[in-house]
Amino acid sequence: MLARLVAFPTVSSESNLDCIAFIRDWLAGHGVVSHIVPSDDRRKANLFATVGPMAPGGVVLSGHTDVVPVEGQAWTSDPFVLTEREGRLYGRGTCDMKGFDALVLAAVPAMLEAGLRRPVHIAMSYDEEVGCQGAPRMVEAMAATIPAPSAVIVGEPSGMKAVTGHKGSVSWFTTVRGHTVHSSRIDQGVSAVMTAARLVTWLDDAMEENRRRADPGNGFEPPYTTLHCGVINGGTATNIVSAECRFVTEVRAIPTEDAWTYRERFERYVRETIEPRMRAIAPETGVDLTFRAAVRGLAPEVDGAAEALVRRLTGDNASSVVSYGTEAGIFQAAGWSSVVCGPGDIAQAHQADEFLEIRQFEAGERFMQRLIADLAV
List active site positions: 66, 128
Closest CA to 55 of 139, 123, 121, 153: 121
Question: Which residues lie across from 61 on neighbouring strands?
Answer: 122, 153
Judged on CB neighbours under 10 Å (0-12, 13-18, 19+), 3 is middle
Determine the Cα–Cα distance for residues 205 and 336; give it in Å rounded to an integer. 37
Phi and psi dihedrals of 232, rounded to 5?
Answer: -145, 140
Closest CA to 146 of 118, 125, 176: 118
For residue 116, what are the CA distances in angstroms to 78, 161, 371, 376? 39, 25, 10, 4
Determine the Cα–Cα distance for residues 191 and 189; give it in Å rounded to an integer. 6
How many residues comprise the chain?
377
Which residues lie below 8 Å from residue 226, measured CB to CB, with a gap of 6+?
207, 210, 251, 252, 323
Cβ atoms of residues 204 and 227 within 8 Å? yes
Give 34's Cβ-side CA count (13 Å radius): 24
